[in-house]
Amino acid sequence: MYGDAANKLVVEAKRTQNLDHLSTFQDELVRSVVRETKELSRSTELQNPQEDDHLSQCHTFVAHLAMRRNKRCLLAYERLRAARLDQLAWENQEPEIPNHTEQEYFRNYSDVLIQYKSAFPEIDLSGSLEPPKDVFLDVRVLKDAGEIQTEYGVFNLTKDSQFFVRDIKTVSDKSLNYPQALQFPYSDAEKDAMITRYIDSFDYNVLPSAEELKLMDDQQNSKYTRFLESCQFREHNYTELAGHATAIIDELTDLTVKYNAVTTETFEFQSQSDALMEQYNSYISLNEDLKSNLHYYELLTTITRKLNNPSPNIVRRESFRRLLEQLDECIQFCDDHKDHKDHDTFMRRFKQCLTRALTLVRNYVMNHLKTIRDEISAKTANTKPNSVTEDALIYTRFASDGDFLLDVSAELCKRAPDSEEYSGLLNDCYNFYFGIRQRLLQPKITEHINTSTSEKKSLVTFSQSNISFFTKIYKDEHELFFKFFKTDHEQALSTWFQQLSEPLYDTLRNSILREQSLNSLCELATLLDKYYEYDEENAFEHDAILNTASTSTPHPDFTQIDLGTVFEPILQDVQSRLVFRAQAYAQEKIVKYVPTPRDFQISHRRSITRNASVASTASDSPSTPLDDDTSLIMESSAAATAKSEGWYPPLSKGVALLSKIYQLVSSGVFDDLAHNIVHDCIISLREAYRVAKTTTGNIDADLFLLKNLLMLRNQVQNFDIEYVSSETFLDFSGVGDIISKIRNGDSVLNDDGILGLVKESVPKVVKNMIDARMELQTELRNVVHSFTEDVVKQIVEPLQKSTVETADSDTQQLQQNIEEALPRVKNQAQMFINDPQVVNALIDGIQELVIQSYEKYYDETGHKVTKSVNVVEVDTMIAFIGEIVGKMYEPVEDDRQKSPVEKMAELSLESSPIKPE
């Protein structure tokens, strides 16, 4: 701000004016004030005085005020320093003056002062103007003392009064012998008498005359007179200086008021100028925004005029692509500025223009494709199907115009995901393109299907040949498609592949439905399984690969195309046929199987046990249409294991069937089929068990059933069966009961009469939950319980008909039975079961039941016998049985800690947990 440096000079002068030494000269501030004054002067000179501009006049006025103020502040600063130098010169001091100009001034002033003092040698002009105070004393009266007489008169000394009296010690003539001051009051007569005596004591005239007194006074007061004259002179000078200083202060005050007024006006002017500049800038910005915004709306007329009169090849021009980009920008602008007036109208018209432009693209693509189609159709009319000429026309000639059509269709492909309307235009191009391609490929496909059908091939070879043919077509069509379109919107290509594969579906479906071989169906399912995955996680990864490929490359590679969806109908047909054939196989080989005595022969069973590597002989079951499948299925590892271990034939066939189709069908279908096959195996085992009981006896039948159930359980655990099958059927047993009563001649009416008869005859809806694992557990518990009861029943037979008289012989017979039966049963069990732990658990169960039976017998008979009859104690019998068992094998400590019943329960419950469907 103007005047800041000058103001600092004035403040510095005021701060240092009372110092006893000369302050440092503010050279930098003085130079800045001078420089500022010169700059103001130059800026004023540059102004044109002829201009009648308010701003220019104001600037000139402010500049002059600032220059005047700077000059007055400089003069005031120099005047104060000059006054201080004058004072130092009067005091005869030699100060340190760093400024050479002030040094020159001090030297000249000192010379002038010396000349002035030399004119008055008798006067000390540099003396103090204050009168001396050491001649008089200030006396204060502490108490009343009355009047006293001094040489200067009478003093009335009253309490608390003050007197200014001369000190007698200050008299220059010390030799004068003045009388001491009176210390008490005198009367007037005494005073006159004493004065007269004092005067008469001198021999000369002690009282001077008036002239002498005047001369004496003048001589004594000469020093004070000179001092008074000097004071008067200085008073005059100081009064004049004070007047000048007052005038300067008044002028400074006026300047300060004017400066404050100018400052206020300047601030107001600056604020108004800033406001005007902001308003001006806002108008400029508004003008630019209006131009920018109106630019988009002004384009509408130009674009509409171009689209209303398009040229035939407008879509191939660079200006057309620029027009589409402008439409995109205009639509985006309207979408970002929905608060503009007539927003909906302009948005609708811009979209209509874009739709019109993209429709031109669609029409051009379709017309050009139609031209290519007509040309190729005319040339292929006289060519043979599947010839080299036809392939060259269908692919090479068709793709020759793909370069410029790709650029044209790219504009439509780029905007199709943003709108359903644009997507519909692109789908029109897709459908027209696919229709042309299908029409051109139809003769080639028909010829191949007819040729392959006429050849006598197996299902797998036939299917593989046709799938390879169509896969090659898919690959060629995939490459050709992306020569015309940059994107596969909504997987239209995959959908068209499915439509193109309809002849393949129909042809393979007929072959699959006529196929009887399970092995062929399994091989075909394995072949198709590489294209289609049931795992959802793999499907998600596949979609992620497709999305990444579509965004990072011009078009996805053919290996990333999901052919699983294309071949899924074929795989579903194969799986349906496979399940049907598996059910038929299970019905024929498991449900309808009739057990033969050879299945339970001990010699046959022992030969298998001794040499597990020797293959079993062929089954005696009658031949069926499924015999070929049987031989093929039995080649699996599970079937080979079943042969070597001497399984029941339906059981081995069922496990082999499950092993063959495992992971070839969906988990839900396989679980349902597995539950049914296991259920059928259990039913077949029950039937075989009933036959075995009549041919081999109860114990061998129990061991036969236990062995096969254990092996079946171990095999089922290898399959990941999660779901439980649920079946719903109608129960007509009530009607059958009524018919049976009528045949037997019984009454069909009950207490409810006719209403009750109707209720009984109505079929019931039954929901049956088939859980093979739970059924296996139940069967294992039952057969273990049946086996132990059959063995114990034979051992404790002497106790069943025992009396008090025969108790001794009966217990001895019991001990003999135990000693003979336990080793025999163990060897018999080992012939069926190879697991020592299971055999030991069975022996422990038999031992426990024998002990329980004997305890019951002892409790009922022991107190009835006489002393002559020797009945074995329970503890003795337990020790005897333990000794027999100990001879057979060394007991395992961990197994002996649990009861035999608990061990068998654990064996029967060992299976994976069942999860609800």
Closest CA to 677 of 732, 628, 633: 633
Please give the Cα distance from 325 to 316 (Å, whole number): 14
Distances (CA, A) of 841 to 63, 241, 273, 609, 817: 123, 138, 110, 20, 20
Please give the Cα distance from 560 to 543 (Å, whole number): 9
For the record, the structure tokens of 187 come out as 């009367």
Residue, of 486 and 862, whose pLDDT is higher: 486
Q: pLDDT digits over 94-126, tens only?
A: 888 877 888 888 888 888 888 888 887 766 677
Closest CA to 5 of 91, 77, 53: 77
Residue 242 — pLDDT band, cuts 50, 70, 90?
Answer: very high
For 247-260, what is the mean pLDDT? 93
Predicted local distance difference test score (pLDDT) of residue 94: 80
For 876-901, what is the mean pLDDT? 64
CB 520 within 8 A of CB 563: no
The residues, ordered by sequence, that sit 6+ positions from 66 with a Cβ below 8 Å of its Cβ are 2, 3, 36, 37, 40
Q: pLDDT digits over 315-326, tens only?
A: 878 888 888 888
With residue 728 as reference, give the H or E element that holds it: strand 725-731
For the record, the structure tokens of 830 come out as 């080992």
Which CATH class for the 4-118 domain?
mainly alpha
Please give the Cα distance from 784 to 845 (Å, whole number): 9
Q: pLDDT digits over 399-414, tens only?
A: 777 777 888 887 888 8
CB 660 within 8 A of CB 677: no
**What phi, psi does 137 have (nearest 5°)?**
-120, 150
Least confident of 453-457, 531-535, 685-689, 741-745: 531-535
Helices (H), 187-221: 188-200, 210-220
CB 480 within 8 A of CB 399: yes
Predicted local distance difference test score (pLDDT) of residue 734: 58
Residue 276 — pLDDT band, cuts 50, 70, 90?
Answer: very high
First to last CA, the chain: 91
With residue 644 as reference, give the H or E element that holds it: helix 637-644
For the record, the structure tokens of 188 come out as 């007037």
Please give the Cα distance from 189 to 184 (Å, whole number): 15
Strands 764-770 and 725-731: antiparallel
Task: Look up residue 176 and give its amino acid.
Answer: L
For the record, the structure tokens of 389 come out as 């000429």
CB 760 within 8 A of CB 887: no
The residues, ordered by sequence, that sit 6+ positions from 312 with a Cβ below 8 Å of its Cβ are none
52 by DSSP, 3-state: which?
A: coil
Predicted local distance difference test score (pLDDT) of residue 896: 43
Please give the Cα distance from 99 to 79 (Å, whole number): 15
The single-letter DSSP state of residue 597 is G
Predicted local distance difference test score (pLDDT) of residue 733: 53
Please give the Cα distance from 671 to 721 (Å, whole number): 5
For the record, the structure tokens of 35 come out as 């420089």
Distances (CA, A) of 623 to 584, 589, 601: 15, 10, 22
Residue 268 — pLDDT band, cuts 50, 70, 90?
Answer: very high
Please give the Cα distance from 11 to 16 (Å, whole number): 9
HEC-encoded secondary structure of 158-172: CCCCEEEEECHHHCC
CB 541 within 8 A of CB 573: no
Residue, of 144 and 909, whose pLDDT is higher: 144
CB 845 within 8 A of CB 895: no
The residues, ordered by sequence, that sit 6+ positions from 366 with a Cβ below 8 Å of its Cβ are 428, 429, 432
Chain-centroid distance of CA 571 in Å reads 40
Chain-centroid distance of CA 315 in Å reads 44
Residue 710: count of CB within 10 angstroms of its CB: 21
- Sign of the dihedral defined by the CA atoms of residues 639, 642, 646, 652, in that order: negative
For the record, the structure tokens of 795 come out as 């051992």
Give me the percent of the chain exceeding a pLDDT of 90: 4
Q: Which residue has the tokens 């081995």?
A: 652
For 424-444, what is the mean pLDDT? 85
Chain-centroid distance of CA 436 in Å reads 48
- For the chain, domain boundaries: 4-118, 146-153+181-207, 314-574, 575-773, 776-909
Strand partners, 146: 157
Please give the Cα distance from 6 to 71 (Å, whole number): 8
Least confident of 246-255, 367-376, 602-611, 803-812: 602-611
| Strand extents, DSSP E, 449-538 | none
Please give the Cα distance from 365 to 359 (Å, whole number): 10
CB 36 within 8 A of CB 70: yes
CB 810 within 8 A of CB 802: yes
Mean model confidence pLDDT for the chain: 74
Cα angle, residue 638 at apex, residues 635 and 639 outer, rounded to 5°: 45
Residue, of 856 and 136, whose pLDDT is higher: 856
Residue 164 — pLDDT band, cuts 50, 70, 90?
Answer: low
Answer yes or no: is pLDDT of 493 > 50.
Answer: yes
Strand partners, 730: 765
For 464-486, what is the mean pLDDT? 83
Q: pLDDT digits over 774-802, tens only?
A: 877 788 888 888 888 888 888 888 777 66
For the record, the structure tokens of 855 come out as 């305890």
Predicted local distance difference test score (pLDDT) of residue 752: 56
HEC-encoded secondary structure of 308-367: HCCCCCHHHCHHHHHHHHHHHHHHHHHHHCCCCCCHHHHHHHHHHHHHHHHHHHHHHHHH
Predicted local distance difference test score (pLDDT) of residue 250: 92
What's the Rg (C-alpha) of the chain? 68
Predicted local distance difference test score (pLDDT) of residue 804: 65
* Segment 106-110 long-range contacts (CB within 8 Å, at least 24 positions apart): 109/85
Closest CA to 266 of 70, 59, 72, 73: 59
Residue 638 — pLDDT band, cuts 50, 70, 90?
Answer: very low
Residue 141 — pLDDT band, cuts 50, 70, 90?
Answer: confident
Q: pLDDT digits over 685-722, tens only?
A: 788 778 777 777 888 878 887 887 787 777 777 776 65
CB 501 within 8 A of CB 566: yes
Give me the percent of the chain exceeding a pLDDT of 70: 72
Strand partners, 147: 156
